[in-house]
């Protein structure tokens, strides 16, 4: 007898689903979301190491009563470029889209160059442009330093 299709996470009425996160990266996604800021009645479900047709293995994060700011979506796109974001309203998927990196990424990651103007206590927000897309490499618009280890530099 075939195994029944398992339901691993309880459905949510309203909120956000971040699916197709690279295996093991959901804890970083939780950090980006800032789970501490959520209202106390919101359930957060995390599934690590879930079998996926498309990806082999993936992680999933489901957060009740929250929609992501563009800045958070950009941070997720940097560390989990395969992720899709679905908005759930009244238990239904109202919108589903892949994360997408814009040409300019502002205020999401620190420049690795300690002498960069953005690291010297001036009121200048970090800003990178995409130098390469697959895999992603960013270039600081102020000092031109390139960066590909985003996890270590997320703000
Ligand atoms: N009410 C709900 N509560 C929690 N998660 C939901 C709810 N409805 C849909 N989802 C999740 O939202 C995502 C998108 O839903 P959809 O039905 O489009 O998934 P799907 O058919 O598996 O598509 P795909 O995996 O190709 O994106 C999936 O991760 C699904 O598990
Ligand atoms: Mg699916
Ligand atoms: Zn710089």
CB-based contacts of 78, cutoff 8 Å, min separation 6: 101, 105, 108, 109, 136, 138, 150, 154
Find the ligand nearest to 10 CA: 1
Q: Would you state the pLDDT for residue 3?
A: 62
Atom of ligand 1 at shortest range from CA of 9: 4
HEC secondary structure over the chain: CCCCCCCCCCCCCCEEEEEEEECCCHHHHHHHHCHHHCCCCCCEEEEEEEEECCCEEEEEEEEECCCCCHHHHHHHHHHCCCCEEEEEECCEEEEEEECCCCCEEECCECCCCCCCHHHCCCCCCCEEEEEEECCEEEEECCCCCEECCCHHHEC
User: What is the share, in percent, of the chain residues with pLDDT greater than 70?
Assistant: 95
What is 15-98's CATH number?
A: 3.30.70.140
**Residues framing ligand 1 (Cβ under 6 A):** 11-12, 17, 19, 62, 84, 86, 88, 91, 93, 96
Distance 118 CA to ligand 3 centre (A): 6
Distance 126 CA to ligand 2 centre (A): 35
Q: How far apart are CA 87 and CA 119, in angstroms?
A: 35
The dihedral through the CA atoms of 148, 31, 73, 18 has a sign that is: positive
Question: Rounded mean pLDDT of 57-74?
Answer: 94
User: What is the share, in percent, of the chain residues with pLDDT greater than 90?
Assistant: 83
Q: Provide φ and ψ at 28, rounded to 5°.
A: -70, -40
**Which sequence spans correspond to the domains of the chain?**
15-98, 104-153
Note the pLDDT tens digit of each residue in 92-130: 999 999 999 999 999 999 999 999 999 999 999 999 999
In this predicted structure, the answer to whether residue 42 has a pLDDT above a threshold of 80 is yes
Ion ligand 3 — residues with CB < 5 Å: 111, 113, 116, 140, 142-143, 145
Which residue CA neighbors atom 3 of ligand 1 most closely? 11
Q: How far apart are CA 108 and CA 71, in angstroms?
A: 7
Which residue CA neighbors atom 6 of ligand 1 most closely? 11
Give the residues across from 62 on adjacent strands.
17, 45
Give the residues across from 139 on adjacent strands.
129, 146
Topology adopted by domain 104-153: SH3 type barrels. (2.30.30)
Note the pLDDT tens digit of each residue in 52-64: 999 999 999 999 9
In this predicted structure, the answer to whether residue 6 has a pLDDT above a threshold of 60 is no
């Amino acid at each position: 007898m075939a195994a029944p299709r398992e339901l691993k996470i309880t459905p949510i009425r309203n909120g956000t689903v971040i699916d197709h996160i690279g295996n093991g990266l959901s804890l970083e996604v939780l950090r980006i979301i800032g789970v501490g800021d959520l209202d106390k009645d919101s359930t957060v479900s995390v599934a690590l190491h879930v079998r996926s047709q498309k990806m082999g293995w993936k992680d999933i994060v489901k957060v009740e009563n929250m929609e992501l700011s563009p800045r958070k979506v950009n941070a997720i796109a940097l560390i989990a470029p395969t992720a899709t974001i679905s908005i759930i309203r009244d238990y239904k998927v109202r919108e589903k889209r892949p994360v997408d990196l814009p040409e300019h990424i502002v205020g999401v990651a620190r420049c690795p160059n300690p002498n960069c103007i953005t690291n010297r206590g001036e009121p200048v927000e970090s800003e990178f442009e995409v130098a390469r897309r697959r895999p992603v490499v960013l270039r600081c618009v102020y000092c031109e330093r390139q960066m590909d280890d985003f996890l270590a530099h997320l703000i």
